[in-house]
């Protein structure tokens, strides 16, 4: 099987061309391929398939390193766009792809920078899904003798955002694992830890469901900014400083689409015997 290794801000991917729909990957195979010691190694595996809709260029499937398919991956979408250009699978700069639960639009700005239309952020608990008796601006969960206060949002995949004083001193894995597997999140949750710097800048660490903490999370950056704008503490354009680098998020609020702009990088091509 041929594959391509790519990354966006250190969030790394195995990308596989399955446009002819001849390849079947099981959960166990995906886990083996994603293993950094016994396989290729990645945060997520991306599968490109042909589309049966004439208005959609490709179908785009995302699998976490635990083998489970998920709905969205912002960094992966940027890598996908660059991959399609490098492999000459498409010649236009504006690309439309379908994911598990929505359609997203990609724009190749130059050889590295990609813009992704992530759609409209959703804050209703049923869209996460999040089990609660009432809709609130901020929710809380009791953990280790104190409350964790958080906000929720979906960008096609579920996010829980916690505002912290210092991301470097926050026990990301401990709290992230607790919330990811909490009963109130029946489909699990991505947990973002946001440190406010000023109205145009935040720091962010993300514990991704089925993966753990990653160097960067595109949809997590979008989620954190959407929450910050909803809370009136961030402007329409925000630079998100992640462990792997900086990404730009633009959102005018309300029912407007949210845009993510960042780079993507090709690492190498390879082949592996399944």
| Residues forming the active site | 73, 217
Closest by CA to 264, choosing from 63, 20, 21, 95, is 95
Q: How far apart are CA 66 and CA 211, in angstroms?
A: 7
Name residue 63's beta-bridge partners. 45, 69
3-state secondary structure the chain: CEEEEEEECCEEEEEEEECCCCCCCCHHHHHHHHCCCCCCCCCEEEEEEECCCCCCCEEEEEEECCCCEECCCHHHHHHHHHHHHHCCCCCCCEEEEECCCCEEEEEECCCCEEEEEEECCECCHHHCCCCCCCCCCCEEEEECCEEEEEEEEECCCEEEEEECCCHHHCCHHHHHHHHHCCCCCCCCCEEEEEEEEECCEEEEEEEECCCEEECCCHHHHHHHHHHHHHCCCCCCEEEEEECCEEEEEECCCCCCCEEEEEECEEEEEEECCC
């Amino acid at each position: 099987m041929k594959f391509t290794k790519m990354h966006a801000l250190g969030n790394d991917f195995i990308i596989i061309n399955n446009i002819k729909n001849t390849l079947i990957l099981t959960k166990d195979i995906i886990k083996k391929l994603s293993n950094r010691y016994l396989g290729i190694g990645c945060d997520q595996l991306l599968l490109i398939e042909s589309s049966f809709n004439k208005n959609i260029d490709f179908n785009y499937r995302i699998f976490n390193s635990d083998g489970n398919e998920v709905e969205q991956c912002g960094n992966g979408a940027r890598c996908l766009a660059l991959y399609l250009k490098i492999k000459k699978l498409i010649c236009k700069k504006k690309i439309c792809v379908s994911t598990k639960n929505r359609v997203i639009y990609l724009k190749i700005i130059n050889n590295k920078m990609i813009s992704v239309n992530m759609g409209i952020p959703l804050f209703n608990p049923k869209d996460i899904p999040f089990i609660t008796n009432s809709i609130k601006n901020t929710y809380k969960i009791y953990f280790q003798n104190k409350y964790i206060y958080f906000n929720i949002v979906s960008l096609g995949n579920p996010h829980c955002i916690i505002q912290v004083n210092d991301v470097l001193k926050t026990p990301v894995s401990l709290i992230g694992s607790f919330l990811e597997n909490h009963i109130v999140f029946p489909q699990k949750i991505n947990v973002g830890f946001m440190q406010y710097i000023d109205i145009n800048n935040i720091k962010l660490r993300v514990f991704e469901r089925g993966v753990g903490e990653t160097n960067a999370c595109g949809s997590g950056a979008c989620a954190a900014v959407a929450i910050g704008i909803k809370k009136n503490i961030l402007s329409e354009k925000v630079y998100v400083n992640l462990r792997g680098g900086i990404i730009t998020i633009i959102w005018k609020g309300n029912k407007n689409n949210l845009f993510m702009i960042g780079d993507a990088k090709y690492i190498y091509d390879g082949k592996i015997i399944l």
